[in-house]
Structure 1
Amino acid sequence: MSRQLLSALFTGLLALPLSAVALAEADINDQADAEKEIAELPSNLLETARSLKQQGLEDQLAWDLTEELLTKVGPRFAGTDGDRAAVSWALTQFRELGFQNIQAEEVEVPRWVRGEISAEITAPYPQELVAVALGGSIGTPEEGIEAPVLQVHDLEELESLSRSQVEGHIVFFSQRMERRRDPSGYSEAVANRSAGPALASEKGAVATVIRSIGSSDQRVAHTGGTRFPEDVKRIPAAALSNPDADLLERQIETGRPVTLRLRLTSRNLEPTTSANVIGEIPGSDPDAGVVLLGAHLDSWDITPGAHDAAACVGIVTTVAHMIRQMDEQPRRTIRVVLFANEEFGLSGARTYAENRRNRIDEHYVGIGADLGAFEVWRFDTVINEDAMPVARALHQLIEPLGVEMGSNEGYGIPDFIPLRALGMPVLDPLQDAAPYFDIHHTINDTLDKVDPEQLRQNVAVYAALTWMAANMDVELRPTPDADD
């Protein structure tokens, strides 16, 4: 920013309220810090990052990988034949793309079979409902379960009720997920699914249904996992499509008693094994650590999981391959990890972190993809506050792609949770979550929902960030949320 422009900006600030002046001065200082940091980065490093960004915008490999995984494998739920086929497919891709130090790291995963489901209102106005079992649910007796419905908004309302008010009912969580560009709407509602059935069971409910934790207005239900502590009795649990949840609410609003019949054949089996698929692009400096590119390989059983997360597999694999093809070797090793069983318990993430607990410091930074391949619109971080000028400098590289600067309160992907707890910093590109949660965990998460141009924009963003992370010289630790 020129001195003349800075002078003009400060002159204009004189007419503003003091609070606005302070904010504007902070923005200018942030901009100046970012420009100073980016100016101090080696010009050849920036030139390469910009070249990779342009190459990403012209990329075809990410689409080809996504299409092939969905066509040749399809659904790949943990412990199934599809899961095993996906691991084999990924190992083959890594070998063909020239990755090194390839391994299938064994992971124990739970084994759950969805079975069949039927749901219907039996009174006061009988109607069939579209529903899907939640992962971890048990089945009903052969004849099903029929019981009165007790509507609650969320966990807090259920917690306020006595056991006598809940006992013998099918509890219906009616909270609607808000459709937003960031994932906050999902975060606010998802506890109904993950913890609601267990709480309902503790209070004597015979089953649970929830409004789908998703924003689709189509008559499809969103699945997902639920958790029952060891000392809590498992009960049948299902999600209703949003239109059917609306119907159930309307019948309850008539003031007449509403009864529901559920029949599920879900069951839990003995754990089995899957694998994290790992491959590397070696760096020139063995002591500089690794940049971890992460995505999960599995999907729920009812969906091919195009956005969740086949396209994410395509993005991180392509970025590593692009850097491998360069004449210039990255300083840090780039490690791609396709995690096992993210959907039903983070099994692969926990295994990976535990196996490297004593080597966590080798992870310079993690960059993950698990919000689909809709357009990246924001860039968050989880790094040392002193390194934020560098984060703003990185943002300058990707800002022309339509990416806003976010905060240092990023989340990263779920598979990074165990690593973040150990102190791994995170660079966090954030995709548009609004369309993502329309199809998340549904039968509609198919290849036709992936826009090739948006997929290429993702590759461009990730490529520029990965190259800079693999070569820049700045300390990103300690992170704001690392455990002591």
Structure 2
Amino acid sequence: MFRSLLTAAAVAALMAGTAHAQDVKTAEGLRDKALRDYLAWDITEDLTTNIGPRLVGSPAMERAKDWGAAKFKALGFTNIKVEEFAKPSWTRGEESAELVGPYPMKLAIVGLGRTLPTPAGGIEADVALFKTYADMIAAPDGALKGKIVVITQPMVRAQDGAGYGVAGISRRSGPVEAAKRGAAALLIRSISTSDSTVPHTGVTANGEGVVTIPAAALGVPEAEQLERLAAKGPLRIKLKLASTFDPKDVAWNISGEIKGSEKPDEVIVIGGHLDSWDVGTGALDDATGVAITTAAAKLIGDLPKHPKRTIRVVMFGSEESGGSAEAYLDAHKAEVPKIVLAGESDSGADRIYALKLPAGGGAHPLAGTAAGVLAPLKIYLDREPSTHGGADIAGLESAGVPSISLEQDASRYFDYHHTMDDTLNKVDPVQLAQNVAAWASFIYLVADSDIDFRALKAAVPAAASH
């Protein structure tokens, strides 16, 4: 009997080793095929060309919703869902700004997303200029009464995009804080790593109970010009912004699945966001994210046998002004315990250079396997765990779903982010394909495994205490 048990164990070990070797071979095959595949490019081109800018509440966004469902169907995805949720919308109107004194000069601006409009005749006022957000915050309440505040804080270029969070506070919170101090309006230097005159939009605080003021972004050279002029004497600016709100609008999360072959109720959620700002065609932000994850899942779906677990791709419908994450969690609370992993592609399409796993994941054998498969793509396994995989999966993360980060090189991403220059010609097809290769090979390994990231995370404190 003991000999029989040894034989059975040896057979089981051999089978497990064979299955592991086959998984590695399949993952490597997916990786290499993706590098020669053009589906992600075709999806990006189709979305940006035939749909164009996709602002929540616009007719184009409704066309994008239908496009997403049709795309999933054409590519062979199953269990396609279009999930509607309430989302107030904002529509941009005419915008202009002009330096009135010390001499007249047109200023290139773009209203911040969800900004209040100015009065119909605009606002003309003296300028209070601050080189940093912190300098503006240091001004006491009421100190800026009736002024147009200008903040000229620059953004630092970084591979991981870390400069965005630091500089971005001027856009996110600046209008509210300037309003507290009595300002009539706010202009900020674009949250940008470029030296372009093209200004960058992006959402700012607004909504019920929020006291704010009209706000817009300036092109970088003009912000620098105003800073130099302010050092020499007083400035005066006229600003006009027109926009409208619809408090009763809707948005949609669209999803499709590659059904698991053995454990279809265990789900991996990946995706990108379908909406975009209205000033460009949303190529890097985030048509490529939609394309990368859809193309990766399609490659896996084309295998002779699907992996054990289900892969669900979600085209999130309102990332730029928020709402997708909360809506997705609300619609899927019951299945959260069965969502084994989540990830989002939303930093452009330049090469992935690192993989971050959920806490504890680095100690699992799958981590070493993944590192080996990804190494030819010049991707390393980061020792730091993933703490935030994307804005649209934040709801799932808050509910305990483990997430990954496939870190994209963001060195040039914020040159084009939220501008009219976010267009198809900024997408590098070779780097786009490398993204698909990384997602397809890694997600396959997880989907065809039994790895439990929740259990691994729970074990981390105990392991650390020894």
Relative distance call for 1:443 and 1:208 in structure 2 (3 A) is: same
Residue 461 (1) aligns with residue 438 (2)? yes
**CA distance in 2: counterparts of 1:246 and 1:419, whole angstroms:** 41
**CA distance in 1: counterparts of 2:116 and 2:230, whole angstroms:** 26
What secondary structure does 1:150 align onto?
A: strand
**CA distance in 1: counterparts of 2:170 and 2:385, whole angstroms:** 28
Specify which of 283, 291, 298 is matched with residue 321 of structure 1: 298
The within-5 A match list for 1:75-474 is: 75-228=53-206, 230-254=208-232, 256-286=233-263, 289-345=266-322, 347-384=323-360, 387=363, 390-406=366-382, 407-474=384-451
**CA distance in 2: counterparts of 1:475 and 1:286, whole angstroms:** 13
Show CA shifts across 1:414-454 (max 9, x none): 11111111111112111110111100000011111111111
- Equivalent pairs counted in the alignment come to 442
Query: Which residue of the partner structure matches residue 14 of structure 1?
Result: none
8 Å CA contact 1:275, 1:340 repeated in 2: yes
| Unmatched runs of 5 consecutive residues or more in structure 2 | 1-15, 459-466
8 Å CA contact 1:56, 1:457 repeated in 2: yes
TM-score (norm 1): 0.87
8 Å CA contact 1:387, 1:475 repeated in 2: no
| Unmatched runs of 5 consecutive residues or more in structure 1 | 1-37
Q: CA RMSD in A?
A: 1.9
8 Å CA contact 2:269, 2:339 repeated in 1: yes
What secondary structure does 2:47 align onto?
A: helix
Residue 68 (1) aligns with residue 53 (2)? no
**CA distance in 1: counterparts of 2:451 and 2:246, whole angstroms:** 48
Instruction: Give how far 1:395 is off.
Output: 2.2
8 Å CA contact 1:147, 1:168 repeated in 2: yes
8 Å CA contact 1:423, 1:479 repeated in 2: no
**CA distance in 2: counterparts of 1:410 and 1:55, whole angstroms:** 30
**CA distance in 1: counterparts of 2:438 and 2:17, whole angstroms:** 20
Show CA shifts across 1:96-118 (max 9, x none): 11111111001222211111111
8 Å CA contact 2:288, 2:348 repeated in 1: yes
8 Å CA contact 2:93, 2:244 repeated in 1: yes
Instruction: Give how far 1:234 is off.
Output: 3.1
**CA distance in 1: counterparts of 2:444 and 2:99, whole angstroms:** 56
**CA distance in 2: counterparts of 1:49 and 1:63, whole angstroms:** 21
8 Å CA contact 1:113, 1:266 repeated in 2: yes
**CA distance in 1: counterparts of 2:271 and 2:412, whole angstroms:** 22
TM-score (norm 2): 0.91
**CA distance in 2: counterparts of 1:478 and 1:166, whole angstroms:** 53
Instruction: Give how far 1:359 is off.
Output: 2.3
Relative distance call for 1:42 and 1:303 in structure 2 (3 A) is: same
**CA distance in 2: counterparts of 1:70 and 1:479, whole angstroms:** 40
What secondary structure does 2:454 align onto?
A: coil
